[in-house]
Amino acid sequence: MAMSSLLTIAGHDPMAHVSLVCAALVVFLAAVFVLAFVDVPRILKSSETVNAYARFFYACMLKPHTGDGSGSQQDALESFYKAQAAVYDATRSRLLKGREDMLGLVAAQLKHRLKENKGTRKPIWVDIGGGTGWNIEKMSAYLDVDDFFHAVYLVDFSPSLCEIARARFARLGWTNVKVICDDARRFRLEDYEEVEGGNMTPTLSARDQVIYEYNDKPSKIGADLLTMSYALSMIPEYYPVIDSLSTLLSPAGLIGVCDFYVQNRVDCQSRNYTGGMIDRHCTWMSRVFWRTWFEIDRVNLDPARRDYLEYRFGTVLSINARNHMFGVRIPYYVWVGCSKAGSSTETHLAELDAAATESPFLSALDLQAKTAVTRAGYFETRSKAYESAIVNLASRLPLPASWYQNHHWRIYYDSHQQKHRQFNDEYIYAFTWEDSRMDSRLLKVQADDVILSITSAGDNILSFALAGPKRIHAVDLNPAQNHLLELKVAAFQSLEYADVWKLFGEGKHENFRAILVEKLSPHLSSLAFQFWLSNADTFTSRGLYNTGGSRHALQLVRWIFALIGLSGEIKRLCAAPTLAEQREIWEKSIRRVLLSKTLSWAVIGNEKWLWKALGVPPEQRNLIEEDYQRQDDTVKDSAESSVRRGGKAIWEYVVNTLDPVVGETLLNDDNHYYLLCLQGKYSRRCHPEYCSPRAHIKLSTPTSFDGLRIHTDAIEEVIARMSPGTLTIAVVMDSMDWFKPDGEDAPKQIKALNRVMKSKGRVLVRSAGLMPWYIRTFEECGFLAKRVAARVPGTCTDRVNMYASTWIMTKVKTIDEQEESEHRRRTGPMEMLNI
């Protein structure tokens, strides 16, 4: 009755109506706020919890700020925190997400650096805005705080929170932790630490000294770790605080930050130093609502805070995430950075550039000169990574995040370009569909070989790494395929064999997210780390080999078998101990379904299906049809439509692929390619070589991937930036099949391969055609073509048997030598930027 009366009154008074709506909105938001943080059953059981959240709600939503009169930041903080200091930790566990991830990431980085540097001095950690000391106690889950750190400083401007922190550390008995109640801008370690030998900070180069703007000089003693958790957004004058952090941090130190944020992609999409843009964009409504909401408690989500942080430091890892609470999604980020001058010396840039382009290494003296020294016959070119570094240094910007990684496997690429975005952040292949054993037999990799290969799922790259060549250049236009290779390499560098087997033998790991943060992260680029954090369910629920574009074909086949009750027969086929039993199971039950002409007409002969699920482009399909027509003259004169002929051609191609595989290779023991397709994982008996314990021993050594460079680009763009006569082996898989016969792309790439290959260098090519059209192009461009495998009905070329022919193209002469000489003369010694 009361409510209806109010509504009746409001109906006559518009202002009263608006007031009621506003009041209802406030009540609703208050309910959301309370319910988002509250565990209702626990509240009913605990009066302490009720009291804690009541004080929290009062301090955040109702209590007026009393520190406004003096204008002091300390008074303002005390006004907000004093009434809730005792219940701060109990009420922030759900709101302040990401703190554990930030601590896990910096702890992993510290452990890796300590292991690599083998230093004896224990690190110093400063937690800025550390409040009650929750971060420092929580760090004990990752590091032994009392033993690992020489000293830990908690710096906070709120006396109430500092008192809680002192009581915490007294309870824990940690004598190396000191609580400093002071303004972060005034804090200096030399006021609390003795300086050994007058200076504990490593000497900086002239280049590194220039990076410190505003005449800021590093402190006499620097912190090895700085952290800030949900503090930057509460500091009004954040510019001088961030500036002071850059002087407080050791040149080799790390900084970790976790905080709320909102940002539009337009603000930062042109920057190449942010470490990736996955989920960084916030919608307009999110930006308006959360900025307004948090301003009530003097929390400012202005994106300039994060932007300036990224400008003053180099980005090592970056995460953009959402805190899901009661139907709302609060944006927050986790960021790990370092001194932006730390890896920017000219010598370091040149060393990495030389490895990416197979160019002679220029000495530091040459690089410091305004003009490079002229060298006879020297072909000078630069990688995209080097060019990006030069541009950023000239603009006093941090380098792209790839320069600050612990490993330099991944070469910088611009993730914003459409050629990379066309794949929609998804890899096509979760496993490589090339027989690595056959590649090994054909190529016989030696220690002085320099190999360029398409990445695919990275299995073949790992196979080459086991052979120990001088260099491996893995190339793929799809960033996600290279993310998968990065993950595999990182796993070998950081995980025990049991974890590696779970990830890539079984395709699942129940603790993937934890090991990603705590073990794998120091060995991943920021872009790859973001990708796998966003796709952690790949290993925790879906399974690696049930992901990727090619999963559609595998899932369809399994669904058909389950629908007609043949799943049991598939298990029998995968477990068959002999070829005779395997053939019997195949012929009696499975073949009639999998190789039925009905399935071929409905699925296999469908062009869109071939491309989307199997990765077969129209040009490759045409090669298959042409071979089919040449082998059966009656087809040429038939009145069948091209669609029907195409379906028959593909059907015959599949028959010629699968029948010999089942007849000649034992899935249970020696054909992990098809075993994986049928059961979704490898077995302990049958798996790729890189999944063996022996391979783990070799690939887990610290230097096993020193020669690896991962290029996210088209093949022709990568080899165009390499010095002539440097590659000894190029593995282009079946990519030549993708070119149009009447186009210029194939001749252009083949000529580029001729230029970059050494004399007698070899190109391994697989094709869906027995005599593909581009063989003649190779021969015209200085290669001797030799078909080393040809598939005829009833025979296997290798364990995959997917391709009609395999070729080795050996370089026998260099073409366009005069043109090449002119190109060298024109590009000459490149004028170096005076940076």
CB of 527 closer than 8 Å to CB of 712: no
Q: What tens digit of pLDDT does each residue of 523-556 get? A: 999 999 999 999 999 999 999 999 998 887 788 7
Segment 718-736, tens digit of pLDDT: 999 999 999 999 999 999 9
Structure tokens at 569: 């027969």
pLDDT at 7 > cutoff 50 = no
Residue pointed to by tokens 């236009």: 477
Instruction: Specify the 3-state DSSP secondary structure of 573.
Output: helix
- pLDDT of 195 higher than 70: no
SS (H, E, C) 84-102: CHHHHHHHHCCCCCCHHHH
For domain 418-492+690-821, the CATH class is alpha beta
Give the model confidence (pLDDT) of 203-227 as tens digits: 444 434 433 333 355 566 899 999 9
Residue 679 CA to residue 249 CA, distance in Å, equals 52
Q: What is the pLDDT of residues 168-192, one digit of tens each?
A: 999 999 999 999 998 888 899 998 9
- Which has the higher per-residue pLDDT, 44 or 585? 585
Instruction: Choose the weakest-confidence range: 406-415, 559-568, 602-611, 740-749.
Output: 602-611
Reduced to 3 states (helix: H, G, I; strand: E, B; else coil), residue 203 is coil
d(CA 282, CA 76): 29
Helix (H, G, I), strand (E, B) or coil at 177: strand
Higher pLDDT, 93 or 234: 234
pLDDT (mean) for 132-141: 94
Run of H or E including 684? none
Residue 64 has pLDDT above 70, yes or no: no
Residue type (1 letter), 801: N
The mean per-residue pLDDT over the stretch 381-410 comes to: 87
At a CB cut-off of 8 Å and minimum separation 6, what does 681 contact? Answer: 505, 506, 507, 508, 543, 545
Give tens-digit pLDDT for 463-499: 999 999 999 999 999 999 999 999 999 999 999 999 9
61: left (phi over 0), alpha (psi -120 to 50) or beta: alpha
Contact partners, residue 338, CB within 8 Å, separation at least 6: 249, 252, 253, 254, 255, 313, 314, 316, 404
Query: Quick one: CATH architecture of 98-339?
Result: 3-Layer(aba) Sandwich (3.40)
762 has pLDDT over 60: yes
Q: What local confidence, expressed as pLDDT, does residue 241 receive?
A: 92
| pLDDT > 70? residue 25 | no
The set of residues, in sequence order, having a beta carbon less than 8 Å from that of 807 and lying 6+ positions away, is 764, 765, 766, 767, 775, 785, 786, 787, 788
Judged against a pLDDT cut of 50, whether residue 281 lies above it is answered with yes
Per-residue model confidence as pLDDT tens digits over 141-161 = 999 999 999 999 999 988 888
Rounded mean pLDDT, 574-582: 95
In tens, the pLDDT along 628-657 reads: 888 765 545 444 444 445 567 778 888 899
**What's the pLDDT at 117?**
76
% of the chain surpassing 70 pLDDT: 75
pLDDT-derived band at 86, boundaries 50, 70, 90: low
Structure tokens, 507: 């395709």
Sheet with 223-229: strands ordered across? 177-181, 151-156, 124-128, 223-229, 249-260, 328-339, 313-325
Residue 30: partners with Cβ closer than 8 Å, 6 or more residues away: 57, 61
Query: Residue 79: its pLDDT value, please?
Result: 55
Q: At how many degrees (to 10) do helices 238-248 and 304-312 cross?
A: 20
In the three-class reduction of DSSP (H, G, I as helix; E, B as strand; rest coil), residue 152 is classed as: strand
Please report where in the chains the tokens 């944006």 appear, as a residue: 331
Residue-level pLDDT at 477: 95
Q: How many CA atoms lie within 13 A of 247 on its CB side?
A: 20
Radius of gyration of the chain (CA): 31
CA distance 66 to 710: 57
Spatial CA neighbour of 624 closest among 595, 656, 646, 602: 646
Q: Please tell me the distance from the alpha carbon of residue 521 to that of residue 640, in angstroms, as a whole number.
A: 57
Distance in angstroms between the alpha carbons of the first and the last residue of the chain: 78
Sorted by where each begins, the domain ranges of the chain are: 1-37, 39-93, 98-339, 346-404, 418-492+690-821, 551-679
**Whole-number average pLDDT of the chain:** 82
User: Who contacts 439 (Cβ-Cβ below 8 Å, separation ≥6)?
Assistant: 460, 463, 731, 764
Give the pLDDT of residue 207: 37
Whether the predicted pLDDT of 245 surpasses 80: yes
pTM for the whole thing?
0.84
pLDDT of amino acid 59: 53
User: Looking at beta carbons, which pairs linking 374-377 to residues 24 or more positions away fall under 8 Å?
Assistant: 374/828, 374/829, 375/829, 377/824
Model confidence at 829, in pLDDT bands (50, 70, 90)?
very low
Q: What is the largest CA-CA distance in the chain?
A: 98
Selected residue with higher pLDDT from 348 and 377: 348
